[in-house]
A and B are shown apart, each in its own frame.
Chain A
Amino acid sequence: KAGVTQTPRYLIKTRGQQVTLSCSPISGHRSVSWYQQTPGQGLQFLFEYFSETQRNKGNFPGRFSGRQFSNSRSEMNVSTLELGDSALYLCASSPSARYNNEQFFGPGTRLTVL
């Protein structure tokens, strides 16, 4: 079974631009969570989608948004990029809504904002 895939793997943008990152979960997984990883703040939860619905959201500004499609693939969008948005963005998929399910992580998208 293929793992979680994220595209692109690396991205360079300039301040003010917007960016869209994509995550394809493991086949059959319906829950997708997104995390931002930076050296200063560590790993922080962005949001979670299940069956095309956002069920949970972390403490990030409205510039960060996401969506999930009927095939469970998910995208996250960051508008009006700031230098501080430079980070590794990880997505993780889980088979169902059970709380003890393991989250399977993708390799991440490294975003650099210049």
Chain B
Amino acid sequence: AQTVTQSQPEMSVQEAETVTLSCTYDTSESDYYLFWYKQPPSRQMILVIRQEAYKQQNATENRFSVNFQKAAKSFSLKISDSQLGDAAMYFCAYRSGGAGGTSYGKLTFGQGTILTVHP
């Protein structure tokens, strides 16, 4: 079974600064997808960024970028120019890319990292 670990229960950053959230995962699969989701106090989960394991290039979405190290099974999220609206719980998630019943519709989440942004 796949596992996702976020070792930082809480992180804080000053507005306009950069912060990196860590995520490691364990899998024996070669085909998979990794995601970072944001959950603000409203509890609405929002996709921040997605990475396909077969792509060597790190994904970027505006101020958000990832450092995907496939051999090390590491998938960290960097938030640049942090804004007050970035304050939320961030979840790293894994989805199998293989065919079969155990793959359908299942995201495996880490425990989450609470990000606080100080003005």
Contact = CB atoms under 8 A, between A and B. Distances in A.
B97 to A, nearest CB: 5
Contact of B111 (A42, A105, A107): A42
Interface residues of B, number: 28
Please list the 7 inter-chain residue pairs (A to B) with the smallest Cβ-Cβ separation, ordered nearest first.
Answer: A48-B105, A105-B45, A43-B109, A55-B104, A56-B104, A33-B105, A45-B106
A56 B103 contact: yes
Given A42-B112, A92-B45, A108-B43, A103 B107 contact: yes
Contacts, number: 71
A22 interface: no
A47 B106 CA distance: 8
B43 A88 contact: yes
Interface of B: 33, 35, 37, 42-47, 50, 52, 91, 95-98, 101-112
Contacts of B46: 105
A16 interface: no
Given A43-B109, A107-B43, A107-B44, A100 B50 contact: yes
Given A99-B97, A100-B33, A107 B42 contact: yes
Given A43-B109, A90-B45, A56 B101 contact: yes
